């Protein structure tokens, strides 16, 4: 949010975000987060590279829709792992923890 405030001119608040994950072919989806417990899904990526693009219409209000934006950005990645669906509550909990650290 601070990034958006610093670099977003007043006349345009649109932000374009691109995320590229490389080298994920034959990787297995796992979680080592101790709060949700270590998880290992038998889902392997068949793609080596995933690209995700997102346009945020008003970056100054990014926090209001952060879970939705993170979901949109990570969906192509999870799709590469046999269409894994991250539970919304897990995603929200992770975002809440991250936001608590930056306040």
Please state, rounded to an integer, the average pLDDT across all residues of the chain: 82
| Residue 45, both tokens | 């990526």
Q: Mean of the pLDDT values across residues 34-45?
A: 70
**Residue 58 Rama label (left phi>0; alpha psi -120 to 50; beta):** beta
97, pLDDT greater than 90: no
| Residue 9, both tokens | 């001119």
**Alpha helices by DSSP H, the chain:** 2-7, 66-80, 88-102
User: What share of residues in the chain are helix, strand, coil (percent, to 5)?
Assistant: 40, 25, 35
> Lowest-confidence range among 3-12, 39-48, 89-98?
3-12
Instruction: Please tell me the distance from the alpha carbon of residue 78 to that of residue 43, in angstroms, as a whole number.
Output: 10
At 88, give phi and psi (nearest 5°). Answer: -55, -40
């Amino acid at each position: 949010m601070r990034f958006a405030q610093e670099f977003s001119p007043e006349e345009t608040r649109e932000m374009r975000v691109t995320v590229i994950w490389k080298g994920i072919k034959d990787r297995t989806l796992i979680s080592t987060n101790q709060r949700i417990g270590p998880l290992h899904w038998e889902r392997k990526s068949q793609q080596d590279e995933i690209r995700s693009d997102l346009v945020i219409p008003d970056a100054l209000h990014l926090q209001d829709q952060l879970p939705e934006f993170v979901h949109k950005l990570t969906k192509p990645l999870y799709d590469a792992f046999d269409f894994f669906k991250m539970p919304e509550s897990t995603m929200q909990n992770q975002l809440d923890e991250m936001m608590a650290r930056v306040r």
